[in-house]
Amino acid sequence: MIADHKPRILVVDDELPVCKSICYTLAQEEYQVDRALSGEEALQQLRSQAYEVMIVDLMMPGMSGMDVLAAARKTDPQMSIVIMTAYPSTRTAVQSVKEGAFDYLPKPFTPRELLTSVERALQGRRPIGDMDAAD
């Protein structure tokens, strides 16, 4: 990686305060951060800009996070995608990973948990708890 390259991250959540909070946390670490307030808006941005990581909310009106995940995997199979949700379940966690999500982050999460997930995604490493799922 080039020393002055700042990884670009797209944050997708239909709740503006959540989006702003996540973007602020990531910007403090000097990531280049963009936001989208819907799945449709996220896909428009993906057509014009490459991202290393996308963090997308699972439950959104219109396109769900799973819909965005599926479309984004076709647009950029190399991008790491983190699914976040306020309604975590084993079923949606397993489904997310099977569909190609890099990580699954239950809300509320701490800034440290967010940054750890993003750092792992940038390094291409699965979270420790998912090591057996990678085989």
Digit-coded pLDDT (tens) for 62-113:
999 999 999 999 999 999 999 999 999 999 999 999 999 999 999 999 999 9
b/e code 76-115 from CB counts within 10 Å (16+ = b): eeebbbbbbbeeeeeebbebbbeebbbbbbbeeeeeeebb
pLDDT at 3: 52
> Which backbone phi and psi does 109 adopt, to 5 degrees?
-125, 160
**Is residue 67 within 8 Å of 101, Cβ to Cβ?**
no
Task: Provide mean pLDDT across the span 21-37.
Answer: 97
Q: At what angle do helices 65-75 and 39-48 cross, to 10 degrees?
A: 10
The CATH-assigned architecture of domain 8-127 is 3-Layer(aba) Sandwich (3.40)
Per domain, the residue ranges of the chain are: 8-127
pLDDT at 5: 76
Task: Provide mean pLDDT across the span 4-16.
Answer: 92
pLDDT at 127 over 60: no
